[in-house]
Amino acid sequence: MTYTIIYDKDHCTAAHRCMGVQPKLWGVDGEKKAILRGGQLNPRTGKYERLIEEAELAAFKESALICPAYVIDIVDTDTGKSVLNLKPTKKEEKESVPVIKAHYDSRKEWAMDPKGFFTIKPFYEEQLIRMRYYGEDHALKFLIEGKSAEEIYNTVVRENLVSTFQHAAYVGCELMKAEIAMKKNLPYVQDDPLP
């Protein structure tokens, strides 16, 4: 059996997930967009295509399913149908999985991380975010600085500075708010919504 990889490069958001999991299949161009290795531009559709064998299907599926922009599809060459279930409609989503209504009561549900806490501040002129890490004894232990939420929260994880999922999620969320505020020149106050 053969399959056609169809890659819509115009709508690639350069999130780099595909090449992260399958670097042999995906490269990167000067605009940081993904390149389908061995792919050919189809001038009719404007998308890149590559014919693959069954043996390569699993690796391509992994990179397609991890793409947050849904720009990689895999089509069965015989039937012309996609072998992925990309972009299910709202109706299909509702019918196939239970819906959990999100809720949160910070007074009851927030739990202090025994490993400590952080304060976060963007520095607009330098385009840097600085984050102070206070340990379990409430003493300042580290100053972490970086240009993006992503590089800072990955440093936090690498240095093992959080011990609960809730705290890790909070740190990622606050850092992203700080990055948006810094880039858009908006005021940032930790724990408050952006204006």
Distance, in Å, from the CA atom of 136 to the CA atom of 115, rounded to the nearest integer, reads 5
Could you tell me if 57 and 64 are in contact, meaning their C-beta atoms sit under 8 angstroms apart? no
Residue 12 as a binder of ligand SF4 (CB under 6 A): the answer is yes
How many residues in the shown chain lie near ligand SF4 by CB under 6 A?
A: 12
Residue from the set 1, 10, 13, 194 that interacts with ligand SF4 by CB under 6 A: 13
Task: Find the binding residues for ligand SF4 in span 40-69 (CB under 6 A).
Answer: 67, 69
Q: What torsion, rounded to 10 degrees, do the Cα atoms 145, 146, 150, 153 define?
A: -10
Does 14 bind ligand SF4 (CB under 6 A)? Our answer is yes
Q: Nearer Cβ to ligand SF4, position 52 or 67?
A: 67
Report the alpha-carbon angle 173-176-177, nearest 5: 85
Measured in degrees and rounded to the nearest 5, phi and psi for residue 64 equal -70, -40
Exactly one of 25, 71, 131, 161 binds ligand SF4 (CB under 6 A); that residue is 71
Please check whether residue 33 is in contact with residue 42, taking contact to mean a CB–CB distance below 8 angstroms: no
Name which position in 18, 52, 156, 181 contacts ligand SF4 (CB under 6 A).
18
Q: Which member of 5, 25, 52, 72 binds ligand SF4 (CB under 6 A)?
A: 72
What minimum distance in Å lies between the beta carbon of 58 and ligand SF4? 17
Does residue 17 belong to the site contacting ligand SF4 (CB under 6 A)?
Answer: yes
On whether the CB atoms of residues 60 and 52 are closer than 8 A, the answer is yes
Q: What is the DSSP letter of 82?
A: B
Contact set with ligand SF4 (CB under 6 A):
12-18, 34, 67, 69, 71-72
